[in-house]
Amino acid sequence: MKELTSKINRNTMLSVLVGIIFGAMLFTLIRFIFNNPAPVHYHANFAVFFDEKREEFSGPGYFEEVQACSATESPRGRTHMHQPDNNVVHVHDKNVTWGHFFESLGWALGPDTLVTTNSVYKTTDQKALTFYLNNKEVASPFDQVVGNEDVLVVSYGDGSADLKKQADEAKKPTPADTANVQKDPAACRGSEELSFSTRLKNAVW
């Protein structure tokens, strides 16, 4: 009788153990499948003109280090440029606005003011700041979410500039649709797709 009881106990314990292991495996599998949202990553084009002269954004200060690409919680991880494309906005998070993007350059954008790293451009009687987004003049794109393959022109001058031509210029050297199918430089490649091991790690932890 005593022997039978301990045998039952052993069997019960065994099935509980199998249940726990199986449950944990199932839980991990479900998380593996569902708990891996595809990372946000798309591109837009932009250009800034002062009296019809295009800003080149030369200097490494304007471009994100590739190591920071995965840090989407940091402002510059969420949106940035990568060398050598001075017209491609990389968006790595939801709800990134044009204001966020200009902040990542160390600039500030307002409805009638543009602050660069060394100057302030204000709308005056002689000159105006004009924003041209997807072939339409807009008041200020500051709090507008950057859309996939958007084209933004920020033009400061006496109003004689051909905005449509400047929008065509903004797509050079690299159009956003080309950037969308290209791999990002170095470490940013990792953000294109989560690797199998990263997915597994996300599922287990």
Interface ranges with Zn ion (CB under 5 A) = 90, 184
Q: Which residue is nearest to Zn ion (CB)?
A: 90
Q: Minimum Å distance from CB 42 to Zn ion?
A: 8
Q: Which is nearer to Zn ion, 15 or 182 (CB)?
A: 182
Cα gap 205→196, rounded to integer Å: 14
Q: Minimum Å distance from CB 75 to Zn ion?
A: 16
Q: Minimum Å distance from CB 190 to Zn ion?
A: 12
Q: Which is nearer to Zn ion, 91 or 133 (CB)?
A: 91
Q: Minimum Å distance from CB 184 to Zn ion?
A: 4
Q: Which is nearer to Zn ion, 97 or 123 (CB)?
A: 97
Cα gap 104→74, rounded to integer Å: 10
* Closest-CA residue to 157 (of 124, 188, 184): 124
Q: Which is nearer to Zn ion, 140 or 178 (CB)?
A: 178
Contact 137, 131 (CB under 8 A): yes
Contact 104, 117 (CB under 8 A): no
* C-alpha Rg value of the chain to the nearest Å: 26
Q: Minimum Å distance from CB 26 to Zn ion?
A: 36
Q: Which is nearer to Zn ion, 111 or 173 (CB)?
A: 173
∠ CA(119), CA(124), CA(125), 5° rounding?
A: 150
H helix or E strand, kind and range, residue 91: strand 88-91
Q: Minimum Å distance from CB 187 to Zn ion?
A: 12
- Residues in CB range of 52: below 8 A, 6 or more apart: 155, 157, 161, 166
Parallel, antiparallel or unpaired: strands 88-91 and 79-80: antiparallel
Q: Which is nearer to Zn ion, 31 or 41 (CB)?
A: 41
